[in-house]
Homo-oligomer: A and B are copies of this chain.
Amino acid sequence: MQYERASASERRYLPPAVAVSVVAFALRPPVDAERGGDAERGGDADTSDTPTIWIPLVRRTRAPFLGDWALPGGPTEWDETLADTALRTLRAAARREPGHLEQLYSFGGVERSAEAQRLVTIAYWALYGEHQLDAEPETSATPAPATAQQQRPRRWDDPLPPAPALAAPQHAIDERGLAQPAGENVAWFSVDRLPALAFDHAEIIDHALSRLRAKTEYAAVAYRFLGPEFTLSRLRAVTEAVLGESVDPANFRRQALARGGLVDTGKLESGGAHRPAKLYRFTEPS
């Protein structure tokens, strides 16, 4: 706060600033021509329509790294836990409540920031479920705009409303934590087509991605990308998108059910030109 005036020689008398950065994953169907347009389609797993992983980034409006994109985040307030800070700054940037939040790692290198004050960053990663993305952005008290392209309840594989640039004044918080008008300064990016990133945020995103992949292999995490009820195919599609490889449907079914936590709701999802699929819920086994 008042440390902006600090010269490099004063640096040793200042305690390090504590900030939080959040890598918030969400899933979108593969809409090419979203930003950066076309280019090679990943090259990842299969040619099918697996969704891709997206994260929100905030454009920096001041030096250093002016114009580059950075993770949502900011310094902790005196009465916040670290998780509180992560949630607050993520809400401010994406204007949505994440479905899961978990600490990732702390970065405390001496020369992380080009600024005078030393910066220690605790990184978090978060997940957005489809229901959180569907929900109207918070903050904007204006009721449902009901624009043409968003009439019926959004289905999982509908395109996501493009990182809403709304009329109502929103705010984002940049790395130094100074609130400022954002609006156009927040955008979602596919993790395999990221822009120039500020600080060591590329490294943090890599770290978060490998953690996400590791956890989907041994823990039940993928379901958090989905709404409260889902079919096993949807869950498998999410898993394939995260792991970047295709998974045998039959074996996935058995393993997912054997791992526990999945509850048959009794309901079915019809609509496709095929046998209707059972809908499942997830209950924490703890």
Which stretch (A9-17, A28-36, A187-195, A257-265) binds chain B? A9-17
Q: Is A276 an interface residue (CB 8 A)?
A: no
Q: Is A59 an interface residue (CB 8 A)?
A: no
- In the bound assembly, the distance between CA atoms of A167 and B209 in angstroms comes to 52
State whether A120 and B76 are in contact (beta carbons under 8 Å apart), knowing that A108-B81, A108-B82 are contacts in the complex.
yes
Contact B80 A110 (CB under 8 A): yes
- In the bound assembly, the distance between CA atoms of A18 and B17 in angstroms comes to 8
Closest to A123 in B: B106
For A120, what are the chain B residues with a Cβ–Cβ distance below 8 Å?
A: 18, 76, 82, 120, 122
Within 8 A of B (CB), among A14-45: 14-18
- In the bound assembly, the distance between CA atoms of A105 and B108 in angstroms comes to 13
Closest to A124 in B: B106
For A3, what are the chain B residues with a Cβ–Cβ distance below 8 Å?
A: 15
For A80, what are the chain B residues with a Cβ–Cβ distance below 8 Å?
A: 110
Q: Is A272 an interface residue (CB 8 A)?
A: no
For A231, what are the chain B residues with a Cβ–Cβ distance below 8 Å?
A: none
A residues with a Cβ closer than 8 A to B are: 1, 3, 11-18, 75-82, 103, 105-106, 108-110, 118, 120, 122
State whether A122 and B110 are in contact (beta carbons under 8 Å apart), knowing that A11-B78, A15-B17, A15-B18 are contacts in the complex.
no
For A78, what are the chain B residues with a Cβ–Cβ distance below 8 Å?
A: 11-14, 16, 110, 118
Contact A106 B79 (CB under 8 A): no
Closest to A218 in B: B218
Chain B CB within 10 Å, residue with most, of A16, A105, A118, A120: A16
Closest to A122 in B: B106
| 6 examples of A-B residue contacts, CB within 8 angstroms | A12-B78, A15-B17, A16-B18, A18-B120, A80-B110, A120-B120
- In the bound assembly, the distance between CA atoms of A17 and B15 in angstroms comes to 7
Q: How far is the CB of A86 from chain B (nearest CB, A)?
A: 10
Contact B110 A79 (CB under 8 A): yes
Contact A16 B76 (CB under 8 A): yes
- In the bound assembly, the distance between CA atoms of A105 and B80 in angstroms comes to 17
For A75, what are the chain B residues with a Cβ–Cβ distance below 8 Å?
A: 15
- In the bound assembly, the distance between CA atoms of A123 and B77 in angstroms comes to 21
